[in-house]
Amino acid sequence: MTTNTIYRIMGNTQRYLVWAQERGLDPSSGGREDILAYLADLRARGFKATSINAIFISLNSYYEYLVEAGQLTVNPIPAIRKKYLHAYKDEIRQLQLISVENAAKMVRATIDSRDRAILLVFLKTGIRRNELISLDLEDLDLESQRLTLKPTAKRSNRIVFFDDEARRALSRWLKSRETRYQRGDQKALFLNAKGTRMQSTGIDGLVKEAAIRVGLHDPTTPRLDDKFTPHTARHWWTTQLLRSGMRREYVQWLRGDAIREAVDIYYHIDPEDVRRAYLACIPQLGI
């Protein structure tokens, strides 16, 4: 579990505890109606399904702790998530899907070597925001054109590949990083202006700014099909590979998804076969 994940769980849980305290409720009782009232309040305040899902993942950790501590016999969150948080898949279908041409336009309009490298990593690997944040220099293999991600509960496979366009951008960033951040964090791959590891707000900000420059992100609307975020890039990457004819189980393997159809398929996937298929299918942006 990364530091960012721990802070996110703590923050989400603290906000829930404050909400309950303000209403005279005892969150440690695990009352189903109280939790549903909190869910209704989040929705009334305009929280997206993805944000609500993340909050309830944090609350699941909180209630698991109470069960382990003997304060509760049953964690109420799994049943509530199963019944009431089904809207997440609908939200995925609403995500903006930009064209290859617009993806290229966004990258070309991004001059900073770090920001361009980050955009290309998202577009060419489909990794999650926190997976990018946790990358260290040692996780990058430019020669083999691959990244080794940190182990997480969400990911079954830790290897992702990138193409020559991403390799060139990463090479330029590494040269710039060496001169600009001689006293910065010597471990993290991507650094902020202070020379420390980038955080989620910085990543979100630079991605949105890059998209705004070319008209791909509207910060004034709640519509998901007018937004561009790291998750939108993951959606784009997945769709482009599938449209190009890459085998579904290869895409699942790169995404780190659990391949449910047959365990044998997962164990017989050859990473070299995946790499070759990936390079044949990933769109070229002409960068």
pLDDT tens digit sequence for 214-269: 999 888 877 777 889 999 999 999 999 999 999 999 999 999 986 554 444 555 78
Q: How far is 230 from 126, CA to CA, in rounded Å? A: 8
Question: Identical fold at 3-94 and 100-281?
Answer: no
Q: Is 18 exposed, middle or buried (0-12, 13-18, 19+ CB in 10 A)?
A: exposed
**Which of 63, 110, 112 lies closest to 212, judged by CA?**
110
- Class of 100-281 in CATH: mainly alpha
Nearest CA to 230 out of 188, 202, 189, 190 is that of 202
Q: At what angle do helices 164-180 and 113-125 cross, to 10 degrees?
A: 150
Nearest to 271 by CA among 173, 145, 182: 145
pLDDT tens for the chain, residues 1 to 287? 567 778 888 999 999 999 999 988 898 888 888 899 898 888 888 787 778 888 999 999 999 999 999 998 999 999 888 888 865 455 555 778 999 999 999 999 999 999 999 999 999 999 999 999 999 999 999 999 999 999 987 788 999 999 999 999 999 999 999 988 877 668 999 999 999 999 999 999 999 999 999 999 888 877 777 889 999 999 999 999 999 999 999 999 999 986 554 444 555 789 999 999 999 999 999 99
Q: For domain 3-94, give the CATH superfamily.
A: Tyrosine recombinase, N-terminal domain (1.10.150.130)
CB atoms near residue 116 (< 10 Å):
24
pTM above 0.85, yes or no: no
**Domain ranges, ordered by start, for the chain:** 3-94, 100-281
| Triad 42, 46, 50: Cα angle to 5° | 75
